[in-house]
Amino acid sequence: MREFDYDLDYKNLDLRAQPELYRVGRGEQGVLLVEPYKSEILPHWRFATPQIATESSDTIYQMFLDYLAADDFVGADMARKFIQMGFTRARRYANHKGGKKYKGVVPDDKKGQSGAHGREELPRQIEDPIKAESARIFKEKWDLCRENQTYLDMKAEHRERYKEIE
């Protein structure tokens, strides 16, 4: 699997027009970079309460299905990444007041990649049940995305079609 390419000029690229440049990468890599999808999906991404998380995850999941129906794998994968990020961020806020997981300032050398990278994790708080429920709501949709056979087929096809570019 090829890593997400952080070196592309995403501010000036339209990955709908150039899907051959898109790499799935791991997890949520590139979720806040890839246009026009970031601009289409981000306004709907919220997780503050279970009600808001339900509305957000329903909307983004429908976008996921719409991208699949339009034969737009990149859009579907980006919607999946936003849903995954809804889960991971809500879990972080459920476990850490204010959503801050590590001590100190986060270095900007990883360009949005997660992981401790030697940083000390702050102690977990008593779980926030509201954020935990928001995470559960997003997790249900994330599981639906990951199990969707059309998505899995399109993902395999995308990787096969563009492997010679890797």
On the CB side of 128, CA atoms within 13 Å amount to 21
Q: Which pLDDT score, from 0 to 100, does residue 105 have? A: 54
Quick check: is 162 in a domain?
yes
CA distance 151 to 143: 12
Quick check: is 107 in a domain?
no
CA distance 16 to 72: 8
Domain hosting 129: range is 32-101+124-166
Q: Max alpha carbon distance in the chain (Å)?
A: 49
Quick check: is 24 in a domain?
no
Q: Which pLDDT score, from 0 to 100, does residue 119 have? A: 76
* CB atoms closer than 10 angstroms to residue 51: 13
Tell me the pLDDT of the chain (166 aa) as tens digits. Answer: 568 999 999 999 999 999 999 999 999 999 999 999 999 999 999 999 999 999 999 999 999 999 999 999 999 999 999 999 999 999 987 887 655 565 665 544 444 444 555 677 666 667 778 899 999 999 999 999 999 999 999 999 999 998 845 4
Domains in the chain: how many in total?
1
- For residue 45, give the 3-state DSSP assignment: coil
Quick check: is 159 in a domain?
yes
